[in-house]
Amino acid sequence: MPAAPGVPPGARVAPSSPGTYNRVQTPKELPLTTSDPKAFAQAQSQAAEHPPYLWWAGRVTPWEDANVHLTMVGWSAISAVFEGIRAYWSPQREDLYVFRLDEHLKRFQQSIRFMRMKDPYGPEGIGGAICELFRANGYREDAYCQPLAYMGRTVPGYIAAEDIPAEVFITNRAAPSNLGQGKVLHCCVSSWARISDNVLPPRAKAITNYQNSRYVSNEARVNGYDAGIILNDRGKVAEGAYACIFIVRNGVAATPPITAGILESITRDSLIQMLGEMGIPVEQREIDRTELYLADEAFLCGTLMEIAAVASVDRYQLSNGAMGPVTQALESRFLQIVRGQDPKHQDWLTAVYAKATAAV
Ligand SMILES: Cc1ncc(COP(=O)(O)O)c(C=O)c1O
């Protein structure tokens, strides 16, 4: 066909009707696929439901009013850091207890600082906002909260910048605890390696780090496992995709050290203290992959995951494949603590309704 007047030979001409030009499928038309349709449907319905309020730019804000311009969506996430915090409902005291709020606030500050952002609110401001938002949404059940700090309107997120005031938003949602249900996981050792301190430091709870977790988690799910365990750049056990790991061998618990490429987990710290109190020796040391296969018990732990027993690793069954005695004892003590029933660790809890931020 001869070229249209004024168009160089070989050049492509955009069709006159925009509707026919590389028409992009709308989300409704796209086939929805996943290796686990039930989990996918659940995640979708959770995303569709939301509480009336979130917290953004210094105040409790109606969910529908929290909008940013489309151009902000991509790059603002590159330096974004966040926290995942659980709150447990106590039916006896009719209060909601945020678990180890101070430690989460401290880690949030560290992550923000690490990204060379500045937190305009400070730990008290964010802590107060977290409790305020729980009250605004009226949670009287177990719930989960995510404060997230990002570089907002000021600069594109990929440019080197210092002391940029972070924009912060906080969301929360209902999240029933899985503690006490005897849940066990079949795990694999991932073929992906853990990001390392001189690549993308796992110590910062940065959004970008979670691509590593997604690779691990997707690989595990596609291959028929519940969760993946990641080895670090030295070939030693680091952690799970979204959780830290402990093994128990001959009555001694062990967990990789904080230099193994892990997030400095608040649950891990709590369990180390609790194991000590329960008279179970605990070592923070390097763990070989094959120790996972030979362990009497193993469990993953983290805020969202809580404590989840590992039944097998790479199809090597651990003991009888059920939750082991140490894991069981730890889990039941943890459940008492988070619900405010253990006098020893009341200072780990912040009461949302009673006295706002006073320990119970
Ligand atoms: C990669 C990773 N490691 C470990 C943990 C456990 O950390 P924490 O106990 O502070 O929730 C998490 C949970 O957020 C995580 O995402």
Fold of 184-322: D-amino Acid Aminotransferase; Chain A, domain 2 (3.20.10)
Mean pLDDT of 20-42: 47
| The two three-digit tokens of residue 64, written as one number | 């529908």
Using the predicted structure, report yes or no on whether residue 40 has a pLDDT greater than 60. Answer: no
Residues β-bridged to residue 148: 82, 169
Ligand 1 atom, smallest distance to 266 CA: 10
Q: How confident is the model at residue 47 (pLDDT cuts 50, 70, 90)?
A: low
Q: Helical H runs in 179-232?
A: 210-222
Residues annotated as catalytic (active site), given as ranges: 205
Mean pLDDT of 316-334: 97
Give residue 163's pLDDT band: very low, low, confident or very high (50, 70, 90).
confident
Rounded mean pLDDT of 212-224? Answer: 98
Measured in Å, residue 231 CA sits from the centre of ligand 1 at 16
CA distance 186 to 318: 10
Question: Rounded mean pLDDT of 261-273?
Answer: 98
The length of the chain in residues reads 360
d(CA 202, CA 231): 13
Q: How far is the CA of 269 from the centre of ligand 1 (A)?
A: 11
Place 164 in a pLDDT band, splitting at 50, 70 and 90.
Answer: confident
Band (pLDDT 50/70/90 cuts) for residue 48 is: low
**Region 262-273 average pLDDT:** 98
Contact (Cβ atoms closer than 8 angstroms) between residue 194 and residue 64: no
What is the 13 CA–ligand 1 centroid distance (Å)?
52
Region 213-238 average pLDDT: 98
Q: Is the confidence at residue 29, as pLDDT, over 60?
A: no
**Ligand 1 atom 15, closest CA:** 242
- DSSP-derived letter for residue 115 is T
Q: CA-to-CA distance for 245 and 238, rounded, in angstroms?
A: 8
Task: State pLDDT tens for residues 172-210.
Answer: 999 999 999 988 999 999 999 999 999 999 999 999 999
- Cα–Cα distance measured from residue 144 to residue 174, given in angstroms and rounded to the nearest whole number: 6
The contacts of residue 40 (CB under 8 Å, 6+ apart) are 32, 34
Q: What's the pLDDT at 25?
A: 38
For ligand 1, atom 3, which residue shows the shortest CA distance?
243
* CA neighbor of 347 nearest in space, from 92, 95, 85, 101: 101
The answer, yes or no, to whether residue 358 has pLDDT greater than 70, is: no
Query: For 14-23, 135-144, 292-301, 324-333, which range has the lowest pLDDT when averaged over its residues?
Result: 14-23
Amino acid (one-letter) located at 265:
S
The domain segmentation of the chain, as residue ranges, is: 12-176+342-359, 184-322
Sign of the CA dihedral with 35 first, then 144, 232, and 285 last:
negative
Pocket of ligand 1 contains residue 84 by CB under 6 Å: yes
Task: Give yes or no for residue 217 CB within 6 A of ligand 1.
Answer: no
Kindly tell me if the per-residue pLDDT of 276 is higher than 90. yes
Give the phi and the psi of residue 22 in degrees, each rounded to 5: 40, 50
Q: Which of 190, 242, 268 to mutate to test the pocket of ligand 1 (most atoms within 8 A of CB)?
A: 242
Q: What pLDDT is stored for residue 158 in this prediction?
A: 78
This prediction has a pTM of 0.89
| Atom in ligand 1 nearest the alpha carbon of residue 202 | 1
pLDDT value for 1 = 46
Please state which CATH class domain 12-176+342-359 belongs to.
Answer: alpha beta
